[in-house]
Structure 1
Amino acid sequence: QQTISGAAAALWFPYDAEPVEKVIAWALQTYNVLVDLSKDARSGVSMIELRQFSRTGEIQIPQWAVRLGARQINRDEVLPVFTSGFMMNVPLMDTTIYLDYLAKRFLAAGGEINGDVRFEKLEAVSPEFHLVINCSGIGAKTLVSDADLEPHRGQVAIVPKIDNLSCAIVCDDAPLMYAIPRTNDCVFGGTNEVSDNCEVDPTSTSRIVAECSGILKIDKPRVRAERVGLRPFRKSGVRLERGKLRDGRTVIQNYGHGGSGFTLSWGCAEEVFRLIGEPSVGAIG
């Protein structure tokens, strides 16, 4: 829960990641897995109605979203501060449940989790491991000296569960705004700025809570917690490839997912699994 993933709203929807064609393919693979997981109450995954709005004209529904059942929101259903929107059912991962669920599955399969280990380079991974999979997120900027990575800072406020809010409200137009109900609380967001500042900004929290409350037409709720996370955006696109470390071991790079980490997770995992069986080429820079 103390990871960047723990600060995420974790609503399935491609956002702030490139290249589009690969991102959509991985996202759709992930969608199918999450739909299956939503049938298991232990997983923390559920299906929720997403209402995606725009402040600037008629919103365009992506073709992949149309195939998943997205439809235009009627004018009389569009919230007053927005100009248009569309709606569709998508998976929501309640990170207060889902992360523990994944950890339990990983441990049951024989994995180990060591939270107090820090590496300055991938070659420092114990030589007992012949395969290294680098999923270090923004840490890859220093771990493999990738100058293409830039931190897209996100801040959220966790507030009590809101009565009568049964769908996720999202607007990607600046300023980014979302209100996402979870099992026991609600996530208000957000921000998206190029910054590596992990400290909570009280001014941002005040703005987020005021904007979300105003749009939902409710009194400002009490803030239970404030979280900051750095989305690992990569200007040249998600890096998912196989190569070799300087010591000859196989490495699979899997980072740079921007604001779509949860949305691409299972699709990228399938790609990693496929790459494990391919010949290794080259070395890291």
Structure 2
Amino acid sequence: TSGAAAALWFPYDAGPADKMIPWALATYKVLVDLIKDSRTGVSMIELRQYSRASEISIPDWAHPFVSTSPSVISSEAETSLDISAYAFSSGFSLNVPLMDTTIYLDYLADRFQKAGGAINEGVHFEKLEDVDPKFGVVINCAGIGARDLVHDVDLEPHRGQVAIVPKIDNLNCAIVCDDAPLMYAIPRTNDCVFGGTNEISDDLDVDPASTSRIVAECSRVLEIKNPRVLNERVGLRPFRKSGVRLEREKLPDSRTVIHNYGHGGSGFTLSWGCAENVFTIAN
């Protein structure tokens, strides 16, 4: 369900921090490089994270990010945001990559296939040993499906619903507030993503009441009339209580499996960093 994601570089709903932050930073560097190629659907955008509380807490992942790339976020940005128009009390900003999934996922699939990979749809495995024995290394990126595939009881589906609306005039930054009620408005190439929800559920059906609440809250924050809803999407964030699982294991048939799942709401944000880790283990 990755196509339902807003796909903003934004560590969210995943852990542990000591591993997540290096993976996120490695991914950031790759995405910045991909911006040079217009075919990727990756661009840079200002992220503004707000709080309805009296004082926002700068998240742990932002602190090493600041020390690594001082130009990305500044104390002036942390204290001088024009937040009155958005009905928030405090916030901070930094520039981050944005992946337009309507373009980026096709780019990745094309790149994978040109490198010699094949994509087979409709394949169902009961267990990892069902993978064709010609493959000596199996990489398990089953996401929430790992609950059944490897019987991981630590996984739980964090349901996310978004509304796709037409582009919003003068909205040139991504706005995020993860206080209740969760809201985000993220402009893309041809439309805008309004969100969202984060609830423990594996229901992939659209909830009309959630769409109404999402659109109403985003419109209230942006001080606009409720826009027309072009589409509604639902996805399941594969949250893992003990954190991302990235490790090697032996299958009963002695083949190597590398587990890489449980990224919660940070799949795109951790993707390249985790892939580099998987590649190192595989070698």
Report if aligned partners of 2:215, 2:226 keep a CA contact under 8 Å in 1: yes
Kindly state the Cα deviation for residue 9 of structure 1 after the two structures are TM-superposed.
0.2
**1:172 alignment partner, one of 175, 178, 190:** 178
Aligned to 2:57: 60
Kindly state the Cα deviation for residue 141 of structure 1 after the two structures are TM-superposed.
0.3
What is the SS of the residue equivalent to 1:270?
A: helix
Aligned to 1:256: 262
1:150 aligns with 2:156: yes
Aligned to 2:37: 40
Q: Deviations over 1:81-103 (max 9, x none)?
A: 21100011000000000000000
Kindly state the Cα deviation for residue 64 of structure 1 after the two structures are TM-superposed.
2.4
Q: Deviations over 1:218-239 (max 9, x none)?
A: 1111101100000000000100
CA–CA distance in 2 between the matches of 1:110 and 1:130? 17
Aligned to 1:265: 271
TM-score, reference length from structure 1:
0.94
**Identity score, percent:** 73
One-letter identity of the residue aligned with 2:183: M
List aligned pairs for 1:62-101, cutoff 5 A. Answer: 62-67=62-67, 68=69, 69-70=72-73, 71-74=77-80, 76-101=82-107
Aligned to 1:282: none
After the TM superposition, list the runs of 4 or more consecutive aligned residues in structure 1 that deviate by more than 6 angstroms: none
Aligned to 1:280: none
One-letter identity of the residue aligned with 1:26: W
List aligned pairs for 1:202-213, cutoff 5 A. Answer: 202-213=208-219
What is the SS of the residue equivalent to 1:259?
A: coil
Report if aligned partners of 1:53, 1:171 keep a CA contact under 8 Å in 2: yes
Rate the CA distance shift 1:112–1:32 in 2: closer, same or farther, 3 A: same
CA–CA distance in 2 between the matches of 1:59 and 1:178? 16
Cα RMSD between the aligned structures?
1.1
Structure 2 runs not aligned, ≥5 long: none
Structure 1 runs not aligned, ≥5 long: 278-285
Aligned to 2:202: 196
TM-score, reference length from structure 2:
0.94
